[in-house]
Structure 1
Amino acid sequence: MATMSDVARHAGVALSTVSYMLSGDKPVAAATRERIEHAMAELGYRPNAIARSLASRRTRILALHLPEFDVSAGETVFEIVRGAYDRAAERGYLLTVWPIASQRAPQELRDLVGQGHADGVLLVEVALDDPRIDSLQTSGVPFLSVGRTRDPSQLSYVDIDFEATIAQALDTLAASGHRDVMLIGRSRAMEAEGYGPAVRSHEDFARLAQERGFEHREYALEPSPQAGRDLAREVCGSSRRPDAVMAMNDLAVVGFVNELQVMGLDLPADLSVVTVVSSRRTASMTSPSLTAWQAPGEEMGRRAVDGLLDQLADPHAPPTQVLVTCTQYDGGSVEDRRRSP
């Protein structure tokens, strides 16, 4: 069975460097960490988390809290959890998901770390004014948020660059000759609750569409196929039909596209449709598949764990602030209208 010393020799580093990386007691350069992880994988080395927690007086446990936002079909959230869990395991930690009701979360998350049940907290589905963050900041509990508050200047976070993603999608539509675009966004209830992606997507879409000279309008829908079907009947049965739709609501856009076809409209000849901060799985649920900007959920989870462990290693380090970009996948749902007569 491989030992820590074997890993150090194989990676060409000092034994103490391996120990620092696994314990999180001191920061380790990314390139060095990669060599150590490669050596661990080749040798089949698995850290003994229990022994290490006793030695370091840490729990080797990270708590992830997910509030009760309605994020139906939120595949990105599950990818974030999966990426965080895998990354934590690679670094010798156990990630646990804590099902705490939202109204109790600020106090209970603080107590969770204060009573020695976890070393730090990852927050997912962050509100612009999030009481969990106020509580953890006040108490000095180590945490990192996957998402940003209204003022994230002093916050450690990993988030999607919504502005860049929406701009890329609008530029793609503009380059294909579209001039009238409609947003299928998240529900008004989610906006009222201050759910960051819902608020940011509406604000960024309106501003960026106007800057590019688009005729534009927005609809805030519940996350359901029926809401999408109803909107298709309302909008596409009228005389003022847009020439493109951008969606940030996976369930609604699937219902929307299916209803278009029931109405006898052709995608994309009659209407181009793209989906942003989505997944390839959702994009493949329609025919043709949708052009999509996929959220890098697993990458976000991995980088969130790294940022939190860096904070545990050096509480005085500058905050981790990472914006990740979505990846474009071209489906068959965008018509090049520059060729139209």
Structure 2
Amino acid sequence: MVHDVRFKCCNTFKTKKTGRLRVSCPTCHKETSRRICPECSAELPYTWGQQKEHVISIIGAKESGKSHYIAVLLDKIMKQMSLNFKCSLQALNDETIHRYREDFYNPIYKRKETLNVTLSGRTNDMVKKPLLYNLSFYGKDFWGRKKISSVITLAFFDTAGEDLNNEDTMSTVNKYIYNSSGIILLLDPLQFTDVREYLKRGSSIPQQNTDPYEILTRTINIIHKGQDIPAQKLIDIPLAVTLSKLDALNNADIMFDESSVVKHPSPHIAKGSLQEKEFPLIYQEIRTFLTNFGGSNFVSLAESKFQKHSFFGISALGKSPQGTNKIDVVNPHRVEDPFLWLLSKNKILK
């Protein structure tokens, strides 16, 4: 017999905090430390309920680069941020280890191939499940002995773009959005009509997908409904609006020239600490870009509805594959910026 401790459904990311690591199984009354979701029957991580859980929702229209962003961000955290920020990232279950290796890391870093489009959560249950990690920060105590100063649980969701095209689907498939500690909303600059008009003279332009304004509107609606927030109250979930695929704009100097801060490498990891002065500079550059190229209403919506918000610009791969699924080299640019900003807004980094 399997002895289960039944906690709240993992879709709500709320657990029964008993303060005990072992409790009585409600079925057979024997002691157990295993924790099972009562609705989806998935086993919860051994850390669940022992420390602060942070859900990072990564959303955006179809082909905005969400899966590529997750792949390179986690690699960046493990290989660079971990040393310079004195932290470590630990997968919390075999499912996370396997999914990241097979669905994210191996295609990009070993086979040098672009990732397939994420399937809808209506047809693929795996999309509803997060990649779960412990992020541990360590240092030394008063006597110089090594100690773990803080540990948080991170849950990363890779949302199918088509699941954001309908509010009803979002409210059932993407419940985690309104329980998030932070939202990274990826915007493909090639989806803005004014940018497409400017670049179409000789450039390969992808087909147009869902308007980012519509996705942001639906996100705001389900947060208000899910958290029962009055219309006049600001949303307190930090929102990192992130312009993806900056490399697609490299030959368009009217958008970002070489003096732009967003074109320079991110300094945070290299210096091992948050460089706070960077955030308002990047904010202003991306905000100006959005307002200049048809995104004024989007900017106004983000600024008027979210108490904490910022704008960022990144490139997950560093270079867009042209007419092929093969990647020459993976050279991510500023992918850590939105994530570090969210950590700071949740008082994890100072």
Q: Provide the TM-score with structure 2 as the length reference.
A: 0.29
Say which one has the larger Rg. 1
Structure with greater helix percent: 1
Q: Provide the TM-score with structure 1 as the length reference.
A: 0.30
